[in-house]
Structure 1
Protein backbone atom coordinates (compact mmCIF):
# COMPACT_ATOMS: atom_id res chain seq x y z
CA UNK A 1 0.00 0.00 0.00
CA UNK A 2 1.15 3.53 -0.74
CA UNK A 3 1.01 5.79 2.29
CA UNK A 4 1.15 9.57 2.61
CA UNK A 5 4.33 10.95 4.15
CA UNK A 6 2.61 12.18 7.29
CA UNK A 7 0.94 8.78 7.76
CA UNK A 8 4.29 6.97 7.54
CA UNK A 9 5.79 9.27 10.17
CA UNK A 10 2.75 8.86 12.44
CA UNK A 11 2.80 5.07 12.10
CA UNK A 12 6.55 5.01 12.76
CA UNK A 13 6.09 7.04 15.93
CA UNK A 14 3.35 4.66 17.08
CA UNK A 15 5.12 1.37 16.25
CA UNK A 16 8.67 2.55 17.17
CA UNK A 17 10.20 -0.53 15.53
CA UNK A 18 11.75 -1.03 12.09
CA UNK A 19 13.06 -4.40 10.91
CA UNK A 20 16.24 -4.00 8.83
CA UNK A 21 16.52 -6.94 6.43
CA UNK A 22 19.77 -7.82 4.68
CA UNK A 23 18.77 -10.91 2.72
CA UNK A 24 21.08 -12.91 0.47
CA UNK A 25 18.31 -13.24 -2.13
CA UNK A 26 14.59 -12.68 -2.63
CA UNK A 27 13.64 -16.22 -1.59
CA UNK A 28 15.32 -15.87 1.79
CA UNK A 29 14.09 -12.29 2.09
CA UNK A 30 10.45 -13.29 1.67
CA UNK A 31 10.75 -15.96 4.37
CA UNK A 32 12.31 -13.41 6.72
CA UNK A 33 9.58 -10.86 6.02
CA UNK A 34 6.87 -13.48 6.51
CA UNK A 35 8.37 -14.44 9.87
CA UNK A 36 8.83 -10.84 11.02
CA UNK A 37 5.34 -9.72 10.08
CA UNK A 38 3.90 -12.86 11.72
CA UNK A 39 5.76 -11.76 14.83
CA UNK A 40 4.01 -8.40 14.78
CA UNK A 41 6.58 -6.01 13.28
CA UNK A 42 4.99 -3.81 10.61
CA UNK A 43 7.86 -1.65 9.31
CA UNK A 44 10.10 -3.51 6.87
CA UNK A 45 13.35 -1.97 5.58
CA UNK A 46 14.91 -3.83 2.64
CA UNK A 47 18.55 -2.90 2.24
CA UNK A 48 20.33 -2.44 -1.10
CA UNK A 49 22.94 -5.02 -0.10
CA UNK A 50 21.31 -8.20 -1.42
CA UNK A 51 23.94 -10.74 -2.54
CA UNK A 52 21.92 -12.19 -5.41
CA UNK A 53 19.09 -10.65 -7.40
CA UNK A 54 17.71 -7.13 -7.32
CA UNK A 55 16.66 -5.55 -4.01
CA UNK A 56 14.67 -2.98 -6.02
CA UNK A 57 12.66 -5.77 -7.65
CA UNK A 58 12.20 -7.37 -4.24
CA UNK A 59 10.77 -4.12 -2.88
CA UNK A 60 8.40 -4.02 -5.84
CA UNK A 61 7.36 -7.62 -5.11
CA UNK A 62 6.69 -6.85 -1.44
CA UNK A 63 4.82 -3.65 -2.30
CA UNK A 64 2.51 -5.68 -4.53
CA UNK A 65 2.21 -8.51 -2.01
CA UNK A 66 1.10 -6.12 0.73
CA UNK A 67 -0.80 -3.73 -1.55
CA UNK A 68 -4.03 -4.30 0.36
CA UNK A 69 -2.51 -4.18 3.84
CA UNK A 70 -3.16 -1.02 5.87
CA UNK A 71 -0.49 -2.03 8.39
CA UNK A 72 2.66 -3.25 6.62
CA UNK A 73 4.97 -0.40 5.55
CA UNK A 74 7.74 -1.26 3.08
CA UNK A 75 10.86 0.91 2.90
CA UNK A 76 14.37 0.85 1.46
CA UNK A 77 17.67 0.96 3.34
CA UNK A 78 21.35 1.54 2.53
CA UNK A 79 20.31 4.03 -0.15
CA UNK A 80 23.44 6.00 -0.99
CA UNK A 81 22.37 8.27 -3.84
CA UNK A 82 19.35 9.94 -5.48
CA UNK A 83 19.42 7.56 -8.44
CA UNK A 84 18.80 4.58 -6.16
CA UNK A 85 16.23 6.54 -4.17
CA UNK A 86 14.26 7.23 -7.34
CA UNK A 87 14.29 3.53 -8.26
CA UNK A 88 13.06 2.33 -4.86
CA UNK A 89 10.34 5.00 -4.74
CA UNK A 90 9.09 3.87 -8.15
CA UNK A 91 9.20 0.28 -6.85
CA UNK A 92 6.89 1.24 -3.99
CA UNK A 93 9.12 2.16 -1.04
CA UNK A 94 7.26 4.31 1.49
CA UNK A 95 10.41 5.59 3.21
CA UNK A 96 14.13 5.70 2.47
CA UNK A 97 17.01 5.15 4.90
CA UNK A 98 20.74 5.72 4.44
CA UNK A 99 23.87 5.12 6.54
CA UNK A 100 24.99 8.68 5.74
CA UNK A 101 23.76 12.12 4.70
CA UNK A 102 23.46 13.00 1.00
CA UNK A 103 21.71 16.28 0.30
CA UNK A 104 20.69 15.30 -3.23
CA UNK A 105 19.04 12.12 -1.97
CA UNK A 106 17.10 14.06 0.67
CA UNK A 107 16.07 16.63 -1.95
CA UNK A 108 14.72 13.94 -4.29
CA UNK A 109 12.76 12.25 -1.51
CA UNK A 110 11.30 15.59 -0.45
CA UNK A 111 10.23 16.21 -4.04
CA UNK A 112 8.07 13.08 -3.93
CA UNK A 113 7.09 13.48 -0.26
CA UNK A 114 8.84 10.32 0.86
CA UNK A 115 10.36 10.32 4.39
CA UNK A 116 14.15 10.18 4.20
CA UNK A 117 16.13 9.09 7.27
CA UNK A 118 19.83 9.90 6.78
CA UNK A 119 22.50 8.42 9.03
CA UNK A 120 24.49 10.85 11.19
CA UNK A 121 27.15 10.61 13.90
CA UNK A 122 27.75 14.27 14.70
CA UNK A 123 25.69 17.36 15.59
CA UNK A 124 26.93 19.05 12.43
CA UNK A 125 25.52 16.25 10.29
CA UNK A 126 22.28 16.35 12.27
CA UNK A 127 21.97 20.09 11.66
CA UNK A 128 22.49 19.56 7.92
CA UNK A 129 19.75 16.91 7.97
CA UNK A 130 17.35 19.21 9.82
CA UNK A 131 18.07 22.07 7.42
CA UNK A 132 17.39 19.73 4.50
CA UNK A 133 13.93 18.97 5.92
CA UNK A 134 14.39 15.48 7.39
CA UNK A 135 11.62 14.61 9.85
CA UNK A 136 13.53 11.74 11.50
CA UNK A 137 17.31 11.31 11.63
CA UNK A 138 19.05 7.96 11.92
CA UNK A 139 21.81 7.69 14.54
CA UNK A 140 24.35 5.27 13.10
CA UNK A 141 26.11 3.16 14.20
CA UNK A 142 23.97 2.90 17.31
CA UNK A 143 26.34 0.44 18.99
CA UNK A 144 29.09 3.09 18.95
CA UNK A 145 26.92 6.06 19.94
CA UNK A 146 24.91 4.36 22.71
CA UNK A 147 21.50 5.32 24.20
CA UNK A 148 22.94 8.35 26.03
CA UNK A 149 23.62 9.94 22.63
CA UNK A 150 19.90 10.73 22.30
CA UNK A 151 19.96 13.25 25.14
CA UNK A 152 23.33 14.53 23.95
CA UNK A 153 21.89 15.33 20.51
CA UNK A 154 18.62 16.64 21.91
CA UNK A 155 20.45 19.04 24.23
CA UNK A 156 21.36 21.51 21.45
CA UNK A 157 18.79 20.10 19.01
CA UNK A 158 15.56 19.51 20.97
CA UNK A 159 13.57 19.83 17.74
CA UNK A 160 15.26 16.74 16.29
CA UNK A 161 13.73 13.26 16.17
CA UNK A 162 16.27 10.43 16.23
CA UNK A 163 16.15 6.73 15.33
CA UNK A 164 19.14 4.58 16.31
CA UNK A 165 20.14 1.67 14.12
CA UNK A 166 22.96 -0.81 14.61
CA UNK A 167 23.42 -2.63 17.89
CA UNK A 168 19.77 -2.40 18.95
CA UNK A 169 18.55 -5.65 20.52
CA UNK A 170 15.81 -6.93 22.82
CA UNK A 171 17.96 -6.30 25.89
CA UNK A 172 18.61 -2.61 25.21
CA UNK A 173 15.63 -1.42 23.13
CA UNK A 174 14.00 -0.10 26.31
CA UNK A 175 17.07 2.02 27.06
CA UNK A 176 16.88 3.64 23.62
CA UNK A 177 13.18 4.38 23.83
CA UNK A 178 13.33 5.66 27.40
CA UNK A 179 16.23 7.89 26.34
CA UNK A 180 13.88 9.56 23.85
CA UNK A 181 14.35 7.67 20.57
CA UNK A 182 11.57 8.34 18.03
CA UNK A 183 11.90 4.72 16.86
CA UNK A 184 14.59 2.05 16.58
CA UNK A 185 15.95 -0.01 13.72
CA UNK A 186 17.11 -3.57 14.34
CA UNK A 187 18.64 -6.07 11.97
CA UNK A 188 21.12 -8.82 12.79
CA UNK A 189 19.87 -9.57 16.31
CA UNK A 190 16.36 -9.95 14.88
CA UNK A 191 17.12 -12.04 11.80
CA UNK A 192 20.08 -14.18 12.88
CA UNK A 193 17.90 -17.30 12.90
CA UNK A 194 17.60 -17.01 9.11
CA UNK A 195 21.28 -17.90 8.74
CA UNK A 196 20.44 -21.49 9.73
CA UNK A 197 16.99 -21.51 8.15
CA UNK A 198 15.25 -21.21 11.51
CA UNK A 199 12.52 -18.75 10.55
CA UNK A 200 10.43 -19.67 13.56
CA UNK A 201 13.24 -18.25 15.69
CA UNK A 202 12.97 -15.04 13.66
CA UNK A 203 9.23 -14.91 14.34
CA UNK A 204 9.75 -15.47 18.06
CA UNK A 205 12.44 -12.80 18.20
CA UNK A 206 10.09 -10.37 16.45
CA UNK A 207 7.46 -11.11 19.08
CA UNK A 208 10.04 -10.46 21.82
CA UNK A 209 10.91 -7.10 20.24
CA UNK A 210 7.27 -6.07 19.98
CA UNK A 211 6.67 -6.97 23.61
CA UNK A 212 9.85 -5.18 24.74
CA UNK A 213 8.75 -2.03 22.91
CA UNK A 214 5.27 -2.17 24.51
CA UNK A 215 6.83 -2.46 27.99
CA UNK A 216 9.26 0.38 27.29
CA UNK A 217 6.40 2.63 26.21
CA UNK A 218 4.43 1.74 29.33
Structure 2
Protein backbone atom coordinates (compact mmCIF):
# COMPACT_ATOMS: atom_id res chain seq x y z
CA UNK A 1 0.00 0.00 0.00
CA UNK A 2 1.49 3.29 -1.12
CA UNK A 3 -0.23 6.31 0.40
CA UNK A 4 1.06 8.64 -2.30
CA UNK A 5 -0.66 6.56 -4.98
CA UNK A 6 -4.19 6.54 -3.57
CA UNK A 7 -6.64 7.58 -6.31
CA UNK A 8 -7.62 11.21 -5.82
CA UNK A 9 -5.39 11.08 -2.72
CA UNK A 10 -8.46 9.94 -0.86
CA UNK A 11 -9.13 7.26 1.72
CA UNK A 12 -12.89 6.83 2.08
CA UNK A 13 -14.18 5.98 5.54
CA UNK A 14 -17.33 3.87 5.65
CA UNK A 15 -19.06 3.93 9.02
CA UNK A 16 -22.72 2.96 8.98
CA UNK A 17 -25.61 1.35 10.79
CA UNK A 18 -26.53 -1.37 8.30
CA UNK A 19 -24.13 -3.99 7.02
CA UNK A 20 -25.79 -4.46 3.63
CA UNK A 21 -25.88 -0.73 3.03
CA UNK A 22 -22.24 -0.46 4.10
CA UNK A 23 -21.25 -3.15 1.62
CA UNK A 24 -23.18 -1.43 -1.18
CA UNK A 25 -21.40 1.80 -0.27
CA UNK A 26 -17.93 0.25 -0.48
CA UNK A 27 -18.72 -1.29 -3.86
CA UNK A 28 -20.29 1.90 -5.22
CA UNK A 29 -17.28 3.97 -4.14
CA UNK A 30 -15.03 1.53 -5.98
CA UNK A 31 -17.20 1.64 -9.09
CA UNK A 32 -16.96 5.44 -9.06
CA UNK A 33 -13.17 5.51 -8.73
CA UNK A 34 -12.69 5.89 -4.97
CA UNK A 35 -10.92 2.57 -4.61
CA UNK A 36 -9.19 3.00 -1.23
CA UNK A 37 -11.63 2.39 1.60
CA UNK A 38 -11.57 1.60 5.30
CA UNK A 39 -14.58 0.02 6.96
CA UNK A 40 -14.92 1.14 10.56
CA UNK A 41 -15.27 -1.72 13.01
CA UNK A 42 -18.00 0.29 14.73
CA UNK A 43 -20.24 -0.61 11.80
CA UNK A 44 -22.54 -3.55 12.63
CA UNK A 45 -21.27 -6.57 10.71
CA UNK A 46 -18.07 -4.76 9.72
CA UNK A 47 -16.04 -7.95 9.40
CA UNK A 48 -18.73 -9.43 7.15
CA UNK A 49 -18.60 -6.25 5.04
CA UNK A 50 -14.84 -6.52 4.67
CA UNK A 51 -15.03 -10.21 3.80
CA UNK A 52 -17.71 -9.72 1.17
CA UNK A 53 -16.10 -6.61 -0.29
CA UNK A 54 -12.78 -8.42 -0.56
CA UNK A 55 -14.50 -11.24 -2.41
CA UNK A 56 -16.12 -8.77 -4.83
CA UNK A 57 -13.15 -6.44 -5.34
CA UNK A 58 -10.35 -8.99 -5.45
CA UNK A 59 -7.09 -9.51 -3.60
CA UNK A 60 -5.41 -6.32 -4.75
CA UNK A 61 -8.11 -3.85 -3.70
CA UNK A 62 -7.06 -1.24 -1.14
CA UNK A 63 -9.51 -2.31 1.51
CA UNK A 64 -8.90 -2.03 5.23
CA UNK A 65 -10.37 -1.88 8.69
CA UNK A 66 -10.73 1.28 10.75
CA UNK A 67 -11.27 2.00 14.44
CA UNK A 68 -8.94 -0.86 15.30
CA UNK A 69 -8.39 -0.71 19.05
CA UNK A 70 -6.79 -4.00 20.04
CA UNK A 71 -4.72 -6.91 18.87
CA UNK A 72 -7.89 -8.97 18.74
CA UNK A 73 -9.52 -6.39 16.46
CA UNK A 74 -6.47 -6.50 14.22
CA UNK A 75 -6.38 -10.28 13.99
CA UNK A 76 -10.10 -10.56 13.20
CA UNK A 77 -9.84 -7.83 10.57
CA UNK A 78 -6.93 -9.60 8.91
CA UNK A 79 -8.84 -12.88 8.88
CA UNK A 80 -11.75 -11.09 7.18
CA UNK A 81 -9.48 -9.81 4.41
CA UNK A 82 -8.40 -6.35 5.53
CA UNK A 83 -5.23 -5.26 3.77
CA UNK A 84 -4.39 -2.47 6.20
CA UNK A 85 -5.45 -1.23 9.62
CA UNK A 86 -6.32 2.23 10.92
CA UNK A 87 -6.35 3.24 14.58
CA UNK A 88 -7.83 6.38 16.15
CA UNK A 89 -4.88 6.65 18.53
CA UNK A 90 -2.05 4.89 20.32
CA UNK A 91 -2.67 1.74 22.32
CA UNK A 92 -0.54 -0.99 23.84
CA UNK A 93 -3.03 -3.62 22.77
CA UNK A 94 -1.92 -3.41 19.15
CA UNK A 95 1.74 -3.53 20.08
CA UNK A 96 1.56 -6.48 22.46
CA UNK A 97 -1.50 -8.31 21.15
CA UNK A 98 -1.76 -10.75 18.23
CA UNK A 99 -1.66 -7.99 15.62
CA UNK A 100 -1.01 -9.27 12.11
CA UNK A 101 1.79 -7.89 10.00
CA UNK A 102 -0.33 -5.42 8.07
CA UNK A 103 0.39 -1.78 7.18
CA UNK A 104 -1.02 0.55 9.80
CA UNK A 105 -2.16 4.14 9.88
CA UNK A 106 -1.76 5.09 13.51
CA UNK A 107 -3.77 7.95 14.94
CA UNK A 108 -1.83 10.81 16.54
CA UNK A 109 -2.28 14.51 17.13
CA UNK A 110 0.64 15.76 19.25
CA UNK A 111 4.35 15.72 18.39
CA UNK A 112 4.99 13.13 21.12
CA UNK A 113 2.30 10.87 19.67
CA UNK A 114 3.75 11.28 16.18
CA UNK A 115 7.12 10.12 17.49
CA UNK A 116 5.58 7.04 19.12
CA UNK A 117 3.55 6.21 16.00
CA UNK A 118 6.64 6.32 13.80
CA UNK A 119 8.62 4.25 16.32
CA UNK A 120 5.91 1.60 16.08
CA UNK A 121 6.42 1.37 12.34
CA UNK A 122 3.35 3.25 11.12
CA UNK A 123 2.92 3.36 7.37
CA UNK A 124 1.55 6.84 7.97
CA UNK A 125 0.18 9.00 10.74
CA UNK A 126 -3.56 9.55 10.83
CA UNK A 127 -3.78 13.13 12.07
CA UNK A 128 -6.94 12.86 14.14
CA UNK A 129 -8.99 14.76 14.86
CA UNK A 130 -7.53 17.05 12.24
CA UNK A 131 -10.24 19.63 12.91
CA UNK A 132 -8.55 20.54 16.21
CA UNK A 133 -5.76 22.41 14.46
CA UNK A 134 -6.67 22.53 10.80
CA UNK A 135 -4.27 22.78 7.87
CA UNK A 136 -2.11 25.32 9.72
CA UNK A 137 -1.36 22.79 12.44
CA UNK A 138 -0.40 20.16 9.88
CA UNK A 139 1.95 22.64 8.24
CA UNK A 140 3.57 23.33 11.63
CA UNK A 141 3.95 19.58 12.33
CA UNK A 142 5.72 19.04 9.05
CA UNK A 143 8.58 21.33 10.10
CA UNK A 144 9.93 18.81 12.68
CA UNK A 145 8.53 15.79 10.79
CA UNK A 146 9.16 16.50 7.08
CA UNK A 147 9.32 12.84 6.04
CA UNK A 148 6.31 11.55 7.99
CA UNK A 149 3.33 10.75 5.73
CA UNK A 150 0.34 12.52 7.31
CA UNK A 151 -3.26 11.61 6.49
CA UNK A 152 -5.63 14.11 8.15
CA UNK A 153 -9.02 12.75 9.20
CA UNK A 154 -12.01 14.48 10.77
CA UNK A 155 -14.40 17.07 9.38
CA UNK A 156 -12.80 17.16 5.92
CA UNK A 157 -14.90 18.34 3.01
CA UNK A 158 -13.50 19.01 -0.48
CA UNK A 159 -12.36 22.55 0.34
CA UNK A 160 -10.53 21.44 3.47
CA UNK A 161 -9.07 18.45 1.62
CA UNK A 162 -7.44 20.85 -0.82
CA UNK A 163 -6.08 22.94 2.04
CA UNK A 164 -4.60 19.90 3.79
CA UNK A 165 -2.99 18.65 0.58
CA UNK A 166 -1.51 22.09 0.02
CA UNK A 167 -0.13 21.96 3.58
CA UNK A 168 1.68 18.72 2.82
CA UNK A 169 -0.70 15.83 3.51
CA UNK A 170 -0.05 12.77 1.35
CA UNK A 171 -3.78 11.98 1.34
CA UNK A 172 -6.93 12.72 3.30
CA UNK A 173 -9.42 10.46 5.03
CA UNK A 174 -13.02 11.45 4.43
CA UNK A 175 -16.22 10.07 5.86
CA UNK A 176 -19.63 11.73 5.97
CA UNK A 177 -18.87 14.65 3.59
CA UNK A 178 -18.34 12.02 0.89
CA UNK A 179 -20.26 8.96 2.09
CA UNK A 180 -23.23 10.84 3.53
CA UNK A 181 -25.97 8.48 4.72
CA UNK A 182 -25.27 5.79 2.13
CA UNK A 183 -23.88 3.33 4.70
CA UNK A 184 -27.10 3.71 6.68
CA UNK A 185 -29.31 2.92 3.70
CA UNK A 186 -29.24 6.28 1.95
CA UNK A 187 -29.55 7.00 -1.75
CA UNK A 188 -26.72 5.57 -3.85
CA UNK A 189 -27.46 7.97 -6.67
CA UNK A 190 -26.71 10.84 -4.31
CA UNK A 191 -23.51 9.06 -3.29
CA UNK A 192 -22.44 8.80 -6.92
CA UNK A 193 -23.10 12.52 -7.36
CA UNK A 194 -20.99 13.40 -4.32
CA UNK A 195 -18.18 11.20 -5.58
CA UNK A 196 -18.26 12.91 -8.98
CA UNK A 197 -18.02 16.32 -7.32
CA UNK A 198 -15.19 15.11 -5.10
CA UNK A 199 -13.25 13.65 -8.02
CA UNK A 200 -13.54 16.91 -9.94
CA UNK A 201 -12.28 18.99 -7.02
CA UNK A 202 -9.38 16.69 -6.19
CA UNK A 203 -8.37 16.17 -9.82
CA UNK A 204 -8.00 19.92 -10.27
CA UNK A 205 -5.76 20.11 -7.19
CA UNK A 206 -3.58 17.18 -8.20
CA UNK A 207 -3.18 18.57 -11.73
CA UNK A 208 -2.23 22.05 -10.45
1:43 aligns with 2:32: no
Q: What's 2:86 paired with?
A: 97
TM-score by length of 2: 0.90
Secondary structure at the counterpart of residue 100 of structure 1: coil
Q: How much has 1:181 moved relative to structure 2?
A: 0.3
- The match for 2:57 among 58, 66, 78 is 66
TM-superposed CA distance for 1:49, in Å, is: 0.9
- Structure 2: stretches of 5+ with no match in the other structure: none
Q: Which of structure 1's runs of 4+ aligned residues deviate more than 3 A?
A: 10-15, 106-111
Could you tell me which of 20, 25, 31 is aligned with 2:13? Answer: 20
How many residues matched?
206
1:197 CA drift (Å): 2.3
User: Residues 190-205 of structure 1: matches in 2 within 5 Å?
Assistant: 190-194=178-182, 197-205=186-194
Distance 1:106 1:204 in 2: 40
Matched, 1:57 2:48: yes
- The two structures have a TM-score, normalised by structure 1, of 0.86
Deviation at 1:91, TM superposition (A): 1.0
3-state secondary structure, aligned to 1:137? strand
Residue in 2 that maps onto 1:210: 199
Point out where structure 1 has 5 or more consecutive residues left out of the alignment.
1-7
Distance 1:111 1:198, change over 3 A: closer
CA-atom RMSD in angstroms: 2.1
**Within 1, Cα distance between the matches of 2:185 and 2:75?**
34
CA contact (8 A) 1:106 1:116 kept: no
1:95-132 alpha-carbon deviations (Å, 9 max, x no partner): 100111124425769852x1111111100000001111
Aligned with residue 151 of structure 2, among 163, 179, 182: 163
- 1:171 Cα shift? 2.1
Aligned to 1:3: none
- Which residue matches 2:75? 86
Q: 1:135 deviation in Å?
A: 2.2
Given that 1:164 and 1:181 are in contact with CA atoms closer than 8 Å, whether structure 2 keeps it comes out as yes
Q: 1:39 offset after TM fit, Å? A: 2.2
Confirm whether residue 116 of structure 1 aligns to residue 109 of structure 2.
no
Could you tell me whether the CA contact under 8 Å between 2:50 and 2:65 is conserved in 1? yes
Check conservation: 2:71, 2:99, Cα contact below 8 A. no
For residues 76 and 69 of structure 2, the distance between their equivalents in structure 1, rounded to whole angstroms, comes to 12
2:169 matched to 1:181?
yes
